[in-house]
């Protein structure tokens, strides 16, 4: 039938033009060309009324199918153009990086410092900061170290090649945060002279320290945190209470702690504090050797140290403790780190775990 051939020709021409269209505007023009008031298919539909009665249903059905095909083809082509437009917008977004940078996080040592600070702040300690490059007076002399003490040797301490100060002596990289004790007490004595108030110190000093040591449990540069409490009627029971509070807060109830007598130049009596090893659970391993790891020293501030800072040891007492941040961190529950040097190895696979 001529009418049937005409409808199929309209369909083929429309689909061909739709496939070749280069824009949404062209699609709209094609739609008007075939489906508009004067469109080819619209005109053909009007001719159906002139056909014999028995042919109209079949031709009408075919005309509707052709119309549906043209409409769907135009709709699909329009959606494709919109999708390409969105993709093009994304591709030219100058603010979007070509390779998304990985999200980082604080280093393990920094995380430990923040946690330690929070623990001590809860019981009234104030965080302070003092120089890493220090005078011999603050690092040794005022802390009651004799002139021939091994710690003052070149093989133990990093000395700086600079002319010594006439009063404060040689310059060095501070080997311990204990030098902050002297500076803090001197500062408080100066404030007392200005305001006349009694001295009361609760100091937390966290800083880098330097020693000539390197093995599974030592590194040449490491961090220490120093506590100092000075006031009237301070006793060893206060020291023990603070040590127990920190161990329970940081390590948890499952870990054991102990103190044992020791000797430090700047405290009397003196102790070392140990915590059961978290790597081997107290059995003995590469890190701890015999099931315990020494975290640091503690004790009552030596009367000579108080006097060197201008305090009367008959009126004021104090206690101090100094622990390694990295060493405390290696004993953290679940960490199981058996070599402290891993913390500074720049091993991304290791660091990304935390």
pLDDT computed for residue 101 by the predictor: 77
pLDDT computed for residue 214 by the predictor: 63
pLDDT computed for residue 238 by the predictor: 94
Q: Which domains does the chain have, with CATH numbers?
A: 2-91 (no CATH), 108-351 (3.30.930.10)
pLDDT computed for residue 93 by the predictor: 66
Please indicate whether residue 54 or residue 236 has the higher confidence score (pLDDT): 236
Average pLDDT over residues 248-270: 87
C-alpha span between 159 and 136 (Å, rounded): 9
- pLDDT confidence of 92, banded at 50, 70, 90? low
Cβ neighbours around 312 below 10 Å, total: 10
C-alpha span between 214 and 326 (Å, rounded): 13
Report the relative pairing of strands 133-135 and 126-128 from DSSP bridges: unpaired
pLDDT of residue 287 exceeding 70, the answer is: no
pLDDT tens-digit series, residues 107-118 = 889 999 999 999
pLDDT tens-digit series, residues 125-161 = 999 999 999 999 999 989 988 787 777 776 678 888 8
Buried-state track 141-150, b at ≥16 Cβ within 10 A, e below 16: bbbbbeeeee
Q: Are 189 and 182 within 8 A, CB to CB?
A: no
Q: Are 318 and 228 within 8 A, CB to CB?
A: yes
Tokens (6 digits) for 153: 């040797």
Handedness of CA 195, 197, 199, 203 (dihedral sign): negative
The phi, psi pair for 19, rounded to 5°, reads -65, -30
pLDDT tens-digit series, residues 292-325 = 878 789 999 999 999 999 999 999 999 999 998 9
Q: Are 209 and 221 within 8 A, CB to CB?
A: yes
The phi, psi pair for 207, rounded to 5°, reads -160, 165
pLDDT of residue 91 exceeding 70, the answer is: no
pLDDT tens-digit series, residues 1-34 = 557 777 778 778 777 887 887 787 887 888 788 7
Please indicate whether residue 77 or residue 266 has the higher confidence score (pLDDT): 266
Average pLDDT, the chain: 84
C-alpha span between 176 and 211 (Å, rounded): 9
* Closest to 295 (Cα-Cα) out of 280, 282, 276: 276
- pLDDT confidence of 262, banded at 50, 70, 90? very high
pLDDT of residue 285 exceeding 70, the answer is: yes
Which pTM value belongs to this model? Answer: 0.66
Average pLDDT over residues 258-279: 87
- pLDDT confidence of 102, banded at 50, 70, 90? confident
- pLDDT confidence of 229, banded at 50, 70, 90? very high
pLDDT tens-digit series, residues 189-226 = 999 888 888 889 999 999 999 987 766 566 788 899 99
């Amino acid at each position: 039938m001529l009418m049937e051939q005409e409808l199929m020709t309209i369909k083929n021409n429309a689909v061909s033009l739709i496939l070749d269209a280069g824009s949404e505007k062209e699609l709209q023009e094609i739609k008007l060309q075939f489906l508009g008031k004067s469109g080819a298919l619209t005109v053909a539909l009007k001719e159906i009324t002139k056909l014999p009665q028995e042919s109209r249903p079949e031709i009408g059905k075919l005309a509707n199918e052709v119309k549906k095909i043209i409409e769907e083809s135009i709709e699909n082509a329009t959606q494709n153009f919109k999708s390409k437009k969105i993709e093009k917008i994304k591709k030219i977004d100058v603010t979007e990086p070509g390779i998304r940078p990985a999200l980082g996080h604080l280093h393990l040592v920094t995380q430990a410092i923040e946690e330690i600070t929070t623990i001590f702040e809860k019981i009234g300690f104030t965080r302070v900061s003092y120089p890493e490059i220090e005078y011999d007076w603050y690092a040794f002399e005022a802390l009651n170290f004799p002139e021939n003490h091994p710690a003052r040797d070149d093989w133990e301490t990093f000395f700086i090649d600079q002319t010594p100060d006439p009063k404060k002596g040689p310059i060095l990289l501070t080997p311990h945060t204990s030098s902050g004790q002297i500076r803090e007490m001197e500062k408080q004595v100066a404030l007392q002279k200005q305001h006349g108030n009694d001295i009361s110190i609760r100091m937390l000093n966290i800083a880098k320290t330097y020693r000539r040591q390197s093995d599974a449990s030592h590194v040449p540069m490491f961090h220490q945190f120093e506590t100092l409490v000075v006031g009237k009627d301070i006793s060893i029971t206060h020291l023990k209470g603070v040590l127990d509070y920190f161990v329970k807060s940081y390590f948890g109830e499952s870990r054991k702690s102990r103190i044992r007598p020791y000797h430090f130049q700047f405290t009397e009596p003196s102790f070392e504090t140990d915590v059961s090893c978290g790597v081997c659970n107290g059995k003995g391993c590469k890190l701890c050797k015999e099931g315990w790891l020494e975290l640091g020293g503690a004790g009552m501030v030596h009367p000579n140290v108080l006097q060197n800072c201008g305090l009367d040891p008959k009126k004021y007492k104090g206690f101090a403790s100094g622990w390694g941040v990295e060493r405390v961190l290696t004993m953290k529950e679940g960490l199981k780190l058996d070599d402290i040097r891993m913390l500074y190895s720049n091993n991304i696979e290791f660091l990304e775990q935390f």
